[in-house]
Homo-oligomer: A and B are copies of this chain.
Amino acid sequence: MPRKTRWESVRRTAAELFAASGYAASSLSQLARLARLSKPGIYYHVRDKEELLFRICESTMAVLLQSAQLAAGSGRDPVAKLRQIIRAHANHYWDHSWDLVILFGQRRYLSPVRQRRIIALERVYLDLVRAIIRDGVRRRVFHRVDPSVATFSLFAILNTLDSWYDRKGAMRPEALVRQIERLFFGGLVVRTRRRAHG
């Protein structure tokens, strides 16, 4: 197996293991067994278990960040930009939900320096989204909401999917994303003209 592919297999197997058993309860011996490698085969890629956790978190953020940067730089209107980010984030969740479970549930096991690195990447991501929302508010395309509250509310919904969305249920992923967009963009309450600005 080419080196890059082998690393990707180690990374994916580690993410599955950490997400299923928890970082603290997982060992590199288990990982080696699941990835069908020797322990030296694991150490070829990472110095220790924590580096593995770090690289899972870092690469997850890198992918999310790249899509957000593409959307932010697209020159489209704020609604279209946000829609693009929501879909990319949701798609990452469908395809790599383990990564997000680990990013949000297990990064506390990282060393302080590495936690700060992940938090810094997250801040860049959040700032991109917040800037799009702020721009939309300024241009009166969006209601006068607090851009931070709107940003965090959006990711609260997207990042908790794992705990409430049943992939085997009747609602398809695409339909779920449309529902979330409809709710986040349009709100719950039908405004009659009389109370439209109430």
Contacts and interface: CB of A to CB of B under 8 A. Distances in A.
Contacts of A187: 143, 183-188
A186 B180 contact: no
A68 B30 CA distance: 46
Interface stretch (A39-47, A90-98, A153-161): A153-161
A171 B146 contact: yes
B186 A191 contact: yes
Contacts of A133: 188
A113 interface: no
Nearest to A151: B164
B153 A183 contact: yes
Contacts of A164: 152, 156
B185 A145 contact: no
A141 B186 CA distance: 13
A189 interface: yes
A146 B179 contact: yes
A1 interface: no
Contact of A145 (B145, B156, B183): B183
Interface in A22-52: none
A185 B179 contact: no
19 contacts: A133-B188, A136-B189, A141-B190, A142-B188, A143-B182, A143-B183, A143-B186, A143-B188, A146-B171, A150-B183, A150-B188, A152-B160, A152-B164, A152-B165, A153-B157, A153-B184, A156-B164, A186-B189, A191-B191
Interface of A: 79, 82, 133, 136, 140-143, 145-146, 149-150, 152-153, 156-157, 159-160, 164-165, 171, 176, 179-180, 182-191
Closest 3 CB pairs of A and B: A187-B187, A152-B164, A156-B160
